[in-house]
Amino acid sequence: MNLVGKKILVTGAGGFIGSHLVENLVKYGANVKALVKYNANNNWGWLEESEIKNDIEVITGDIRDPFLCNKITKDTNVIFHLAALISIPYSYIAPESYLETNIKGTLNICQAALDNNCEKIIVTSTSEVYGTAQYVPINENHPLQPQSPYSATKIAADSLAMSYYNSFNLPLVIARPFNTYGPRQSARAVIPTIISQIASGMNEIKVGDLSPTRDFNYVEDTCRGFIHLAESDKTIGEIINIGSNYEISISDTFNLIKDIMKSDVKFVIDKTRIRPDKSEVRRLWCDNTKIYNLTGFKPKYSINEGLTKTIEWFLNKDNLNKYKVGLYNV
């Protein structure tokens, strides 16, 4: 399937990855409808200041409403379903919200896609469903471990989506991106937390546990991975990792950012940023063999290149001023 000229719906379009994906799809030549969460101010999230906002149709709504989902998926070829609640700390205190959005929202989108005969739906998972690695690198056969209410709802949403493929032949693929970073990411995440605090001139950086390892992926690579999964006919009915096959500790990432920013800043452990012990995912390292074999996708950006571009974005004062630097918001 070639996405050029296709009518595409992106849910979660005002968010971090969603806004970048919308921009990539428009530049690619697709006709994009962007769903952002309804709010009284009609704010479009990160699409507000996007250079392509006049080239898309923006819809405000909520995926928890099945009637809305049915309406917006009519006359749609492909759906990229990214809308979700994603903060792990917030899932500890508001788990029912995650059930309603992540599970019921996915149900609504899948049912609407089925009812309206959509050609393909890409459902977004997360590497958090794997929990702490039992072996590395992690392929798609790795056991699933619900180490937070967030990951539990994503495991359920993935299973529900796959049931629609098995039961009704809904043409879908589950995209399982590992830790995506880049411009616009929430300051809850470790990379923007570190960069934004250094960029604002702080002498001490508040961080959580620095010992876990992650497979970080620059957002442009994640978006390219999504597009590859959508265009390939070999991906229907599959669960597929998107990652770099490169493991790095949070501590080494911190030091790499310091080096790029030429900073001698020190870190201070903030206990409010540390997960409960059994909930912390200690190790994530992606096996990206499957996506390469099925689609030919390979990431373009090294960790150094991606961090450099992310830092450049945060050093722009207009961008940095959008963040409440130093304030930890779950």
pLDDT in single tens digits along all 330 residues of the chain = 999 999 999 999 999 999 999 999 999 999 999 999 999 999 999 999 999 999 999 999 999 999 999 999 999 999 999 999 999 999 999 999 999 999 999 999 999 999 999 999 999 999 999 999 999 999 999 999 999 999 999 999 999 999 999 999 999 999 999 999 999 999 889 999 999 999 999 988 888 899 999 999 999 999 999 999 999 999 999 999 999 999 999 999 999 999 999 999 998 888 888 889 999 999 999 999 999 999 999 999 999 999 999 999 999 999 999 998 867 666
In the chain, % helix, strand, coil (3-state, to 5) comes to 45, 15, 40
| Residues 71, 130 share a domain | yes
User: Within 10 A of 320 (CB to CB), how many other CB atoms are there?
Assistant: 15
| pLDDT given for residue 330 in this prediction | 64
Within-domain flag for 11: yes
| Residues 225, 204 share a domain | no
| Residues 127, 91 share a domain | yes
| Residues 173, 191 share a domain | no
Strands 31-37 and 7-11: parallel
**Own/partner long-range contacts of 262-267 (Cβ < 8 Å, ≥24 apart):** 263/198, 265/197, 265/198, 265/202, 265/203, 265/204, 265/205, 266/203, 266/204, 266/205, 267/204, 267/205, 267/206, 267/207, 267/210
Within-domain flag for 25: yes
Within-domain flag for 294: no
| pLDDT given for residue 329 in this prediction | 66
Within-domain flag for 330: no
| Residues 278, 233 share a domain | no
Would you tell me the crossing angle of helices 16-28 and 219-231 to the nearest 10 degrees? 60
Q: What is the pLDDT of residues 285-301, one digit of tens each?
A: 999 999 999 999 999 99
| pLDDT given for residue 207 in this prediction | 87
Nearest to 205 by CA among 264, 165, 164: 264
Contact 254, 321 (CB under 8 A): no
| Residues 203, 225 share a domain | no
**Structural domain count, the chain:** 2
Within-domain flag for 328: no
| pLDDT given for residue 30 in this prediction | 98
| Residues 171, 192 share a domain | no
| pLDDT given for residue 272 in this prediction | 83
φ/ψ of 189, rounded to 5, equals -75, 155
Within-domain flag for 293: no
- Rounded-to-10 torsion of CA 17, 103, 179, 37: 20
| Residues 187, 46 share a domain | no
Q: How far is CA 249 from the centre of its chain?
A: 20
| Domain with 255 in it | 182-214+247-283+302-320
**What is the three-class DSSP state of 96?**
helix
Give the CATH number, domain containing residue 29. 3.40.50.720
Exposed/middle/buried for residue 53 (C-beta within 10 Å: 0-12, 13-18, 19+): middle
| Residues 158, 236 share a domain | yes
Residue owning tokens 């090294």: 302
In the structure encoding, which two tokens stand for residue 20, read together? 């970048």
User: Which pTM was predicted?
Assistant: 0.97
| Residues 165, 154 share a domain | yes
Within-domain flag for 265: yes
Within-domain flag for 175: yes
| Residues 190, 132 share a domain | no
| Residues 160, 49 share a domain | yes
